[in-house]
Structure 1
Amino acid sequence: MVLNRLDIDALRHDTPGCAHRIHLNNAGAGLLSSGTLRTMTEHLDLEARTGGYEAADAAADRIARVHDDLAALIGGRASEIALFDNSTRAWQAAFAALAHTFRPGDRILTGRAEYGSNVLTYFQAARRTGVEIVVVPNDEHGALDTGALAGLIDERTKLVGVSHVPTGGGLVNPAAEIGRITRAAGVPYLLDATQSVGQFPVDVAAIGCDLLAATGRKFLRGPRGTGFLWAAETILPLLDPPVAEIASAEWDGDEGFTWRPGARRFETWEKNYAAVLGLGTAVREALALDPAVTGARAVALGTRLRDALDDLPGVTTHDLGRDRCAIVTASVAGVPADEVAAELAHHGINVSLTNREGAQFDALERKLPPLVRLSPHYYTTQEELDRAVTVVGRVAANAR
């Protein structure tokens, strides 16, 4: 597969972190570009010199543009975008806006790879409302079984909630096929796209979801403390957002209020505008590079890394699915994952660990211990992958 359609040297030169570490933790947080960093520091400097409110007023047009940029990234409308400080808040707001309709005996369908915080929220809803949580089985490749999903949907189903890409593996769930099924059944579909937006192209129209939550800090390479929700105009009449405040609602003068148009009804008035502007820069850079091009490179690097690790004696990768992405999880026989990660860190290589809390259903079913999670991105080089594989190979050899 061709990996040189991008000017990698220029991209790395514009990514200060590449000069100091081998960064294989983009599933945790991607490296900021110089442009994103400059946008944020310039706005912070403006706040310091002129005042926070005054700086926001001066940047009002650029702040408003962030909604347009995010909409362009995922194929939606600017009116369908709400800004949040992280994807968990965005996801929880969308879920809570639907949960007011849940009654005892209603059902939430989800996958075995569902993100741990989402699962806890489902449990909380079950405790509060009596809604039933149904975990859809996997297919023979380890992805959500869409045939089983179609068979489980009935008149009691009030939500299908799925993680597009799990936090602890390279699986890519069949999001568009899930959307085809939910549209035909008329069931709301909430997609957690935290690990997919920015890693490869995500198009809400092609997927057919009703709600999508995502973060800025991971493969999108935006700052921490940023996230967003996309809410289709067609589902807004069903939603009752959990918080009403002056940014989300308007007092009607008669001890009542009206929600503001579109997804803005989910926003709050106060924001970290330096982070919001940084997110906008990161999104525009992603669009300029073309997510199809950067996504193809990231996925190809993930495949090469996975294959190289699988070739090492004593090393096993654990990624499910026929379609896989740039996230690679691995274990070394006889060596705890934290010791493997520490050895990689000693050699200047950033990785992270998975744990049971990140995807409870999957970890329990497969009896998974903590794993080493390696996640390259399009600015990663083959040489960097080779260095990581060499370190893991030495750890495995020393354990035999």
Structure 2
Amino acid sequence: MDQKGSKSSSTSSRGTVRIRIIDTTSYIHNLPAAPFLSPEFPGLSRLSGPSFSFLIEHPSSRSLLFDLGIRKDWENLPPITTRRIELMQIKVKVKKGVREQLEEHGVEVKKIEGIVWSHWHWDHTGDPSSFEKSTALIVGPGFTANFTPGYPSDENGRILESDLHGRELREISFDQGLKMGGFDAVDYFGDGSFYLLDSPGHAIGHMCGLARVTASPNSFILMGGDICHHVGQFRPSAKHPLPAMISPHPFDHNSAVPCPGELFEQLLPKKDSAKPFYCVAGPKNGIQVAADLDAANESISKLQDVDGLDEVLVVIAHDSSLLDVVDFFPKYADDFFAKGWQKKGKWLFLKDFAEAVKSLPTLEAQLGSVSL
């Protein structure tokens, strides 16, 4: 992946960081799909999934966290948020806070220099107040103007003042002329090892993270946040069309027989094997969650280009299809390429369409030999 622009960063910079993907023990159940995804498929009217966080470790001993999942005491979120959770009948479970998990495995939490929020939504912000005041909070463009001072000073505030109290609030500006994978970018450590990517649309100030974990050959982990809410929003694509035969079998991971790709073709727009199953839900599809529909679609288009590179592992925040693929904290994810995680996990999300496939009458004759 080429770095373009920026006088302050050399295009030859190829530093690396170490990454640990944290299963935050935060789980969302029964989330209505219609405000996020279009169209609606049988068996997919409600979504469930984890909420991932990432520990980023630089060779200089500097470290960052990218997202924190859901705070353990989520009932103490701002009232406007808890009311929304109740109204949407969302079920929330959190076993441990991120700090608890880090300390259990000997991470020097006091030395973490910053928490990056991909965006301000409650299932990503966690509980920054559980970290030292010396740990900065790093946010995207427009955050300060739109979301401070927070609740309770603002009775309709979407974040808690306690998340910000006494710590540096650092708002990223993407005005350096640097691009990575088509995204406006900031080279956080200045050595090409970790980038923040401007990926607006879903929420004001939304950012992704891009970490180079090996330099020879290059390999990267893209921390997607909520750039989209289901892998079916960016796959298939022109870079990754739906295969004729899919292995591992998404309905039976242990099957020696591949899954026929044609089972899913009728679910695709115009049966086009290079178009994703979903688009971002807009006003015609019910309640629009996206802050900027056009920007959201543009960000996903850029994501498709990056996802098309074999050296990039894309991890969006709520991708349950990766739960049985990647190694989670305290293990490292740096050797994902050698372990073949992209190949193993690329089409496992198709398991979510089992009920939709069953509902296709024209495929009934083909389903006799397929285990769903």
Q: As a proportion of its length, which structure holds more strand?
A: 2
Q: As a proportion of its length, which structure holds more helix?
A: 1
TM-score norm. by structure 2 comes to 0.27
TM-score norm. by structure 1 comes to 0.26
Rg (Cα) greater in structure: 1
Which protein has greater RCO, CA pairs closer than 8 Å, 6+ apart? Answer: 1
